[in-house]
């Protein structure tokens, strides 16, 4: 071996050793970097599922801190503590805060396509919605819809089927809806307006006072457990189901895109994993608690649980798809999301009818 060759090997070996030493020091520095974020919430302090308890925003923040060993700490602010309940989207978009917990259909005024990532009238249940989001192109469309706003949305909870709502009077016919003042968000509200309903969009904490004082005649919120906690049974006694407006309802973890880009890949992975954990945990918690709550409301608190008449459901279905046609006609992105969602639904329905439907109709007690 020549002297020149020995010098080359010696130099490159030393360089390699130096690089090997340098890489861990870089990784170590990155692994020690800490992040302090703020998260606001569309729902108030103490709200089960949304603010406290399994799968909630506070649970999410705690789990992220635990799994990142304190590298990402997120301070949770329930509605009204830092900003008003419905200002989370703008605050995250501008980078004033890094995260918001709520539902994407609250932002349908900015882009109607946001509706499809929370609840779709006459749409899919939890299983279908999650399948579309994860494996049917739904998440990619969510990213595309939110790109102009500099935000990212992640599914972080699901209530399952939501009730149609609380009514002060019985609904026997479509005409009984005419003239009602009702708290109901999203596309369901747009449909009900065509039947003469005066739609109000109120934060959760404002619903009961409005219903009790007669400012509104009816209200949709979530399901038996959360609704009972809000005290709606004290202001209205007719409780209707069908889930036409919200066959499932996805919670959104909204993240500022610039802030997201500053997180190391491992922390990004942890955030996504905890969101997925909350998504499943939220549904499981809802399923575990709603049955007992509904039984208590009916047996002990004088509530009449009813299903909307078929004639009402069919009218709602008709108007819903007329509304879809109008809203997708002039917005290519909304049309793209709509077509993707309902194409996946058609496929999923075929399987659902051969699986879940059989279980529910043939095997249930």
Binding-site positions for substrate read 162, 183, 220, 246
Q: How far is CA 227 from CA 43, 165, 235, in A?
A: 13, 9, 11
Reported as type and span, the H/E element at residue 74 is strand 72-77
Hey, what's the torsion of the CAs at 104, 181, 125, 294, to 10 degrees? 120
Helix/strand/coil (H, E, C) string of 123-143?
CCCHHHHHHHHHHCCHHHHHH
Measured CA to CA, the distance from residue 218 to residue 78 in angstroms comes to 25
Measured CA to CA, the distance from residue 121 to residue 244 in angstroms comes to 5
Q: Among candidates 160, 70, 205, 44, which has minimal Cα distance to 61?
A: 70
Separation of CA 326 from chain center: 25
Binding site as annotated, residues? 162, 183, 220-221, 246
Radius of gyration for the chain, computed over Cα atoms and rounded to the nearest angstrom: 24
| 57 token code pair | 């925003």
Reported as type and span, the H/E element at residue 240 is strand 238-241
Binding site as annotated, residues for Na(+)? 221
Measured CA to CA, the distance from residue 100 to residue 85 in angstroms comes to 10
Q: Among candidates 277, 355, 349, 338, which has minimal Cα distance to 131?
A: 349
Q: Among candidates 19, 13, 61, 53, which has minimal Cα distance to 36?
A: 61
User: In sequence order, what are the residues at sequence separation of 6 or more whose Cβ sits closer than 8 angstroms to the Cβ of residue 22?
Assistant: none
Query: What are residue 238's phi and psi, to 5 degrees?
Result: -95, 120
Measured CA to CA, the distance from residue 312 to residue 181 in angstroms comes to 17
Query: What are residue 260's phi and psi, to 5 degrees?
Result: -60, -40
């Amino acid at each position: 071996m020549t002297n020149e060759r020995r010098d080359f090997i010696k130099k490159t070996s030393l360089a390699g050793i130096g690089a090997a030493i340098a890489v861990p020091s870089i990784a170590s520095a990155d692994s020690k970097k800490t992040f302090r974020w703020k998260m606001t919430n569309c729902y108030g302090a103490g709200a089960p599922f949304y603010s406290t308890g399994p799968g909630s925003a506070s649970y999410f923040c705690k789990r992220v801190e635990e799994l990142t060993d304190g590298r990402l700490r997120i301070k949770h602010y329930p509605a009204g503590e830092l900003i008003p309940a419905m200002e989370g989207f703008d605050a995250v978009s501008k980078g004033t805060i890094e995260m918001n917990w709520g539902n994407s259909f609250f932002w349908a005024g900015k882009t109607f396509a946001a509706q499809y990532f929370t609840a779709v009238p006459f749409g899919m249940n939890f299983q279908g919605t999650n399948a579309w989001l994860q494996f049917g192109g739904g998440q990619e469309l969510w990213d595309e819809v939110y790109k102009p706003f500099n935000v990212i949305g992640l599914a972080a909870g699901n209530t399952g089927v939501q009730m149609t709502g609380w009514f002060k009077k019985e609904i026997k016919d479509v005409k009984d809806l005419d003239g009602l003042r009702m708290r109901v968000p999203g596309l369901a509200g747009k449909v009900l307006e065509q039947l003469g309903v005066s739609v109000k969009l109120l934060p959760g904490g404002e619903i009961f006072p409005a219903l009790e004082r007669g400012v509104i005649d009816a209200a949709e919120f979530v399901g038996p457990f959360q609704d009972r906690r809000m005290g709606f049974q004290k202001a209205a006694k007719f409780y209707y189901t069908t889930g036409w407006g919200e066959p499932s309802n996805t919670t959104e973890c909204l993240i500022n895109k610039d802030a997201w880009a500053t997180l190391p890949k491992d922390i990004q992975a942890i955030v996504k994993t905890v969101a997925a954990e909350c998504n499943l945990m939220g549904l499981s918690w809802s399923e575990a608690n709603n049955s007992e709550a509904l039984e208590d409301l009916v047996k002990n608190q004088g509530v009449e649980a009813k299903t909307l008449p078929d004639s009402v459901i069919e009218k709602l279905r008709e108007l819903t798809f007329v509304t879809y046609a109008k809203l997708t006609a002039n917005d290519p992105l909304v049309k793209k999301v709509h077509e993707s969602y309902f194409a996946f639904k058609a496929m999923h329905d075929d399987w659902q009818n051969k699986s879940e439907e059989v279980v529910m109709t043939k095997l249930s007690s």
